[in-house]
Amino acid sequence: MKKLGLILLLGGLVISTASVHAGYDEGKAAYDKRDYTTALQEWLPLAEQQNAAAQTRLGTMYARGEGVSQNYTHALKWYRKAAEQGQSVAQFNLGVMYENGYGVLKDYIQALKWFRKAADQGNADAQYSLGVMYDNGYGVSQDYAQALNWYLKAADQGNADAQHNLGAMYIKGDGVAPDDTQGVNWYRKAAEQGDAIGQYKLGLMYSLGRGVTQDHTQALHWFHLAAEQNYTDAQYNIGLMYAAGEGVLQDYEQSFNWYHKAAEQGHAASQYKLGLMYDNGQGVVQDYIQAASWYRKAADQGYADAQYNLGVMYTKGQGVIQDYAQALNWYLIAANQHDAAAINNLGVFYDKGNYTTVKDLPLAYALFNLAASYNPSEKLYAENRDRELRGLEQSGQVALGQEYTRRLAHTNDIRATILEIIKPKPKASATSK
């Protein structure tokens, strides 16, 4: 999904000053010096005289809280006055207000209307935003051909957001025949303008050898440019390259440093990798407490591998107080994301019946079976399944194991299904004769 309204409201508006009343240029000069009080004094009288350029400027000052208290209602009022006079920047900003629900109820149809008015006047930001609306089906039926059309218009004016979105459309084949070479070309245009997403995506193409000859040195170059702008995916990928020795000498300390930069900004995969490095003492002194801490940060964001590893740490009591109930909880959460290792460990819990769980061999069999189906290459899961099946054959519980297998295979909520299976069944009440 492409983001809409990446530029919320333009501070440095590009407005024609033709036929602008005296005072507008003085206001602009003051605004550029961040003398917002003087700018307001110059522009307010002009705005009240229906000067669209000054009205648009006032809208931005109220939207951003520059020289006045932030007030989206006032911003909306001034943008609307200018937009109704045909001011394209005001039309675009009014669309952004509707798209985000600033000072007004969120309304994609109204946003689409105002973006279109500005786009038809050649406003590149509006053309890009209109492309996003069609790309995602916001306020209009999803239409990749229309999205491509509007992205092209904006991209041809140098809009970097449109350029990297065009790159993505060519890579995926959305509304156009898949073409990695064209994808690379558009990513490069955005990247050469300093666009972090374009730089990262171009680095990824060099790393994978798609649309270009694989070149880890070039990949690292573009990742670095994006990483310098704190683009976390790029920082994470640099960490991966140092860990694997791709385009650089293998260096776990450097890998750790780059993961740390991204992890501190909330990047879940990097948080997981930091946990793994602390867990194994790779590039840093082994520290189970730190490992558990970083696993938890990633796990709380829904990162399944971290959820599983956190379950393992609670099982073993590494970095945390041993707590089988917590371990069970994290395995269940990871299992809901189809994590085969977590599902296998749940099978172990119900096979043993001594980790705060009741012993339930048919359920253990179903879990081992599910884990093996998710990851057929892991022999342990199949071995556990086959061993459990032999036990069920001896106890006459094969049918029940098969029933549980069917239930788990067809559920969208593995955790809830397991809890339903183990829920104590009500005893039949006695009946009188």
* Mean pLDDT, residues 225-253 taken together: 97
pLDDT confidence bin for 7, thresholds 50/70/90: very low
CA distances 72 to 37, 62, 78, 371, Å, are: 19, 6, 10, 52
pLDDT of residue 12: 39
pLDDT of residue 18: 44
Contacts of 35 (CB under 8 A, 6+ apart): none
Closest to 8 in 3D by CA, of 72, 87, 86 = 72
* Mean pLDDT, residues 418-432 taken together: 68
Was domain 122-229 assigned CATH 1.25.40.10? yes
Does the pLDDT at position 395 exceed 60? Answer: yes
Q: Tokens standing for 356?
A: 């705060």
pLDDT confidence bin for 21, thresholds 50/70/90: low
pLDDT confidence bin for 426, thresholds 50/70/90: low
pLDDT confidence bin for 290, thresholds 50/70/90: very high
pLDDT of residue 343: 97
pLDDT for 155-189, tens place per residue? 999 999 999 999 999 999 999 999 999 999 999 99
166 with 152: CB under 8 angstroms?
Answer: yes
Contacts of 18 (CB under 8 A, 6+ apart): none
Closest to 128 in 3D by CA, of 106, 99, 103, 104 = 99
As a whole number, the mean pLDDT across the chain is 92
pLDDT of residue 357: 76
164 with 141: CB under 8 angstroms?
Answer: no
Domains 26-117 and 122-229 share a fold: yes
pLDDT confidence bin for 22, thresholds 50/70/90: low
CATH architecture of 26-117: Alpha Horseshoe (1.25)
Check residues 14 and 108 and name the one with the higher pLDDT: 108
Does the pLDDT at position 16 exceed 80? Answer: no
Indicate the domain borders of the chain. Answer: 26-117, 122-229, 336-421
Does the pLDDT at position 13 exceed 60? Answer: no
b/e 22-33 (16+ beta carbons within 10 angstroms → b) = ebbeebbebbee
